[in-house]
Amino acid sequence: MNAYRYQVRNSSGQVVVGVLQSESAATAATVLKQQGSHVLALTPMVNAADSDALIERLKSLNAGRPTMKHVLDFTTQLAVMVRAGIGLRSALEAIGEQSEHAGFKKIILGLKSDVESGKQFSEALTRHPKLFGPLYVNMVRASEMSGSFGKMLDRIAGYTAQQIETKRMVVGAMIYPGVIATMAVGVTVFLLTFVLPKFGKVFEGKESVLPWSTTFLMNLSDFMVNQWPWVVGGLVASIVGSVMFLRTDFGGAWMDRFKLACPILKRMFRSLYISRSLQTMGELINAGVPMLDTIAITGDIAGSRLYKKMWRDVYASVKEGKKITYTLSQNTLLPHAVVQMIGAGEESGKLGEVLDEVSVFYAKQLKDAIKAVTGMLEPIMIIVMGGIVGFIAMSIILPIFKMSQIVR
């Protein structure tokens, strides 16, 4: 039965409003007519359950996808509860009920259901590879075998926090130059499309005395104003084409090579890839993950196709029984000193500790490189922006001065 709100005029001419339970709107209208009333309005009512479901649906749509920050908070809370002696199922249920993100709450409660059905926690995590990657799953699996679940969750949380911080620093370093570049393009377009056309009549008929810069800018301005559909279409096509090109293996490899070759950026990206690779490898080795799995996961997480290929080559050589440094020594992506330290750790059986120390060193180098990049890009972008605006301004002012002298 559904509820319908009605508005009718009864036999005495009075307007009456009320609620009627009926199977359908047609049935409700028939009942009201049989009572001698003239139906003015009849609308279905949404019950509380449907309303709550709709609200929850809208919340889940607005919440977006879970992020690594949600994974970090989940891992930290789970580590604390496990160390406190709370069972895994109870901990998952408590964390899931407290989660304010509808989508992530559903995932956590799904993990609880999988664990209750008899699955290992690591096996349940594999159902969500975008949130819980190979490193997370393999470290949890290793802890399940060794019985160090709580400590391993702490290590995973620390690793995840470090990766989030690294990403934040790199993205933050690119924001300011991006804003300056956007402003430079915006100001240039504004000057070419709104300011320069107003000088067209002033310079009309005097093309012979105009400097080449003014002539060039006037022609460019005329083209952008009169052919703007082609300009916009070409710009959109260029952006779409660039994105599609970079998504290809060839385009992605070209961009990765550019990052490591650009004088301003290469130190930052080199430190980023080395720090991420060695930290990942160290964490997996210390967790007791098999060496071949460790190398494969390290390549997938490296963040660069070039470094991924290097680790794949290492994987192939180790699979043949060779040492890790055999392939690394033939590659220039890792400094010779780092390769030597990896070899020393491999010989002494303390490879995990060595990798931890080297990754900490390169994490510090990454912070210094980000500061250096930011410090260099800011004045460069300001100089470029000032140069473009100054060039346009002088191209307008100089002809006016020249024409005023001719008039005198």
Residue-wise pLDDT tens digits, 296-324: 988 888 888 999 999 999 999 999 888 88
**What is the average pLDDT across 188-198?**
83
**Model's pTM, two decimal places?**
0.70
Residue 177 has pLDDT above 80, yes or no: no
Residue 164 has pLDDT above 80, yes or no: yes
Q: Check residue 62 and give its pLDDT.
A: 45
Q: Check residue 174 and give its pLDDT.
A: 77
Q: Which CATH number fits domain 173-408: 2.40.110.10, 1.20.81.30, 3.40.50.720, 3.40.50.170?
A: 1.20.81.30
Please give the CATH number for the structural domain made up of 64-163. Answer: 1.20.81.30
pLDDT band per the 50, 70, 90 thresholds, residue 244: very high
pLDDT above 90 coverage of the chain, percent: 6
**What is the average pLDDT across 290-300?**
89
CB-based contact 310:331 (threshold 8 Å): yes
**DSSP state for residue 197 in the 8-state scheme:** G
